[in-house]
Amino acid sequence: MCANEEPASISAPRSLAMRRAHARDRLETGFQMWPATGSDGHGAHLIPVAYAWDD
């Protein structure tokens, strides 16, 4: 990007309520997730986790 170029449009961040609703929907309708861990110099590690949401 050159100094005289304008940055691309970035949408506003979602509210906390919207993020919570999305996370809850994913937990209630899904059955697996891939949490990621990482540390300096060791890269990321994805871990498959199967689950059942019981509310």
Confidence (pLDDT) at 2: 60
Instruction: Please identify which residue in the block is written with the tokens 């990482």.
Output: 38
pLDDT band at 7 (very low <50, low <70, confident <90, very high): low
DSSP letter string over the chain?
--TTSPPPP-PPPPPHHHHHHHHHHHHHH-SEE--EEEETTTEEEE--EE-----
Q: What are phi and psi of 52, to 5 degrees?
A: -130, 125
CA 15 to chain centroid: 14
Name the residue with higher pLDDT: 43 or 1.
Answer: 43
Mean pLDDT, the chain, rounded, equals: 84
Q: Where are the domains of the chain?
A: 31-55
**pLDDT of 55 above 80:** no
